[in-house]
Chains A and B, each alone.
Chain A
């Protein structure tokens, strides 16, 4: 009896043809040179179809489509084929921003007030357990690996504590976009899914506030003669509360449009996503948080929630492809190559901390108990928020740049593992709708 190949060659053919076409065009001696908006056009068109067919290949072996988009981004990105070079990725920022806004609106729209009221103890206990054990885990790693981390070598206990605080906060951060992407793809519904979404979204706010408080603490610990000053927390606190205010505004505008105009809704949503992202960038706000708040407001304080979700779902597919492919292209393989051992240690520590934190939450709150053993698997993804926090550390702290390299390596691994683990557990727990059993 002959064994069937894991991936049918027929599914790989479109990918091969597209790659051949792209190679002919890009390597052609007569083709234009220099990254312009038009060249970004070529790359965007290519990645849209390439990622789509790559996702179909992964889907055929029961992996999430989102992993296919990410993988396509990694392959086409600056560290492998360089079709999506750093400059092209920068040029496609507009589309990435709009995609993030749409995903955040979906995430906010998925959270219902009724669930928050009913499940607040569960959510808070899980968040508490995870944050606490993330810091404990980070402290252990910083202590035992201090001789192997360049910026900690010979730094003494203050430096170890500072590193633990920084690693702890980035360890606790999640990726609401990836979570929502996998939940939407698998059409998951159920208590486990609700808990995962609730924890991921609310933790996003908690992590930003924690990061705001940790920056001045770490400065006080590591810079001789510098005391604790909330001045350095100001930016991040403004970012958090400003984002919430912006979210309320965007939500109100969208609700008013749906109520009073209502035509061409998907286009208007994309437009608001575009405008809102630029507003957020201009005022240094967090677009993910702002649009999650907007989605939450429309879902819970107006009667237009269902119309919003339907309209968003109509534009969801290209949005997911663009967002996750660009996210894949942004995965820093150089950082991973440099820091792979430490990254693996941190990834394992993070998973262990989440598992222990979930078990702890299950002991405190009875409602978490049915999910506590498998909760960690649904919470591994990491992406934009984590990189954003690492960038703030890079700007504000003495050894923030070295720390960012470690964070990028950890994010690279978690973003590759996270969606697969989440889809696996959603299917295993029977909450994925219309999916094949693994």
Chain B
């Protein structure tokens, strides 16, 4: 009977509640954008999870594994398909320089910081487990989400060099972290290598890339055949679930492998535009699945969890204000007058960070896994909310907000 109630709440409460919230939030921009990010589904997942109704049990989640892997693979494939070489070539090299600086510095600082803090907070755990957890926290901290930037630039509206730079930068910000996650995942789960370590992990990472490329070629070839829209959707779904299953067998990251598959498809498929549109049409549904499942999975309690969450959110925010702002103004001199405000636009996290957390949580066992997943999930929610306010501030500081809508936007709070 738990499953029945789980799905009733999954669907009825989810859809009806979101409609209600959205209609009430019409006039308040930050709240409106927050609900556009689907945060309510995360809380719905928490309600359904073990802490409250205990409806989304491990058993239910295991029965729904194909759906979870479909969601993970879908996210990876969609992200990978955007990495089309012809489009990437058009992106200015400055953005890549900025992203290299931003992601590598934030990732490295976070990795060191969290290794140290986790060692203090959880002295009973092994070095390997602490290093693994710190790596996942650092990888997700380096990711920025393009959703808030895109939605706000449309709603405010904000148009100009800074806005477009930030849009492109946030869209590509997950590339390096995802490659790092793929490498880290194989180091943590070295497959057939008996000894763990960087060399075995690296070889296994090469194998993961091989699987991704091979499945990408098979995927391109299968979807090259003449088929209807429904048939293509079926083949996409089937291949994504199949790859998720292969990753389970070989203990590879489903998200990373699907991304590699997506890169192959995005660059070599003649039907990539149609496929991308089909993937995009299901994006919202997939994101909802993510949020509910993560909400159901998270396990949080105690002061250590709160301390880690506060540290994660604070460290990330400080690094965005300092490192990101420095990196962007170093690379693009015209943004220097914005000072610390430029980095604020990169403060939101989003679906890819959640996908990394989910993939890590599904494939890893350990005492810290649940806490790390919970910290990332809550941090994403907090960062989405903070991100709305900070990105708005950043756009205003850039002077690219056009007056007509900006005044409409600032009128709203005074109505209350």
Q: How far is the CA of A350 from the CA of B239 in the complex (A)?
A: 41
Given contacts A261-B19, A317-B233, contact A41 B4 (CB under 8 A): no
B15 touches A264 (CB 8 A): yes
CB-based nearest B residue for A28: B249
Q: Give the contact stretch, choosing among B60-68, B81-89, B158-166.
A: B60-68
B19 touches A41 (CB 8 A): no
B250 touches A45 (CB 8 A): no
B4 touches A42 (CB 8 A): no
CB-based nearest B residue for A26: B249
Taking the nearest CB of chain A, how far is it from the CB of B234, in angstroms? 5
Which of A14, A41, A42, A264 gathers most chain B CB within 10 Å?
A: A41
> Which one, B1, B66, B234, contacts A40 given CB within 8 A?
B66
B11 touches A45 (CB 8 A): no
**Binary flags per residue of A268-308, CB closer than 8 Å to B gives 1, else 0:** 10011011001100100000000000000000000000000
> Which one, A38, A263, A282, contacts B1 given CB within 8 A?
A282
B245 touches A39 (CB 8 A): yes
Given contacts A30-B192, A272-B11, contact A46 B242 (CB under 8 A): yes
Which of A32, A42, A95, A264 gathers most chain B CB within 10 Å?
A: A42
Secondary structure of the B side of the interface?
A: helix
Is B31 interfacial (CB-CB < 8 Å)? no
Q: How far is the CA of A26 from the CA of B250 in the complex (A)?
A: 10
**Binary flags per residue of B208-223, CB closer than 8 Å to A gives 1, else 0:** 0000000000100110
B237 touches A318 (CB 8 A): yes
How many B residues touch the partner, as a band?
35 or more
CB-based nearest B residue for A17: B218
Q: How far is the CA of A44 from the CA of B11 in the complex (A)?
A: 23
> Which one, A38, A49, A271, A318, contacts B65 given CB within 8 A?
A38
Q: Which of B204-248 contact A (CB under 8 A)?
A: 218, 221-222, 225, 230-231, 233-235, 237-246, 248
Q: Which residues of A contact B239 (CB under 8 A)?
A: 45, 49
Is B414 interfacial (CB-CB < 8 Å)? no
Given contacts A45-B243, A317-B230, A317-B231, contact A32 B285 (CB under 8 A): no
B250 touches A42 (CB 8 A): no
Q: Which residues of A contact B8 (CB under 8 A)?
A: 275
Is A80 interfacial (CB-CB < 8 Å)? no
Is B191 interfacial (CB-CB < 8 Å)? yes
Taking the nearest CB of chain A, how far is it from the CB of B381, in angstroms? 22
**Binary flags per residue of A8-27, CB closer than 8 Å to B gives 1, else 0:** 00000010010001000110
**Binary flags per residue of B173-194, CB closer than 8 Å to A gives 1, else 0:** 0000000000000000001100
Q: Which of B1-50 contact A (CB under 8 A)?
A: 1, 3-4, 7-8, 10-12, 15-16, 19
Q: How far is the CA of A79 from the CA of B378 in the complex (A)?
A: 48
A41 touches B245 (CB 8 A): yes
CB-based nearest A residue for B63: A94
CB-based nearest A residue for B248: A38
A52 touches B233 (CB 8 A): no
> Which one, B231, B249, B250, contacts A52 given CB within 8 A?
B231
Taking the nearest CB of chain B, how far is it from the CB of A219, in angstroms? 32
Could you tell me which A residues sit within 8 Å of B by CB distance? 14, 17, 21, 25-26, 28-32, 36-46, 48-49, 52-53, 91, 94-95, 257, 261, 263-264, 267-268, 271-272, 274-275, 278-279, 282, 314, 316-318, 321
Question: 14 A-B Cβ contacts within 8 A?
Answer: A32-B248, A32-B251, A41-B248, A44-B66, A45-B239, A45-B242, A45-B244, A49-B239, A49-B242, A52-B235, A271-B10, A272-B11, A274-B3, A278-B7
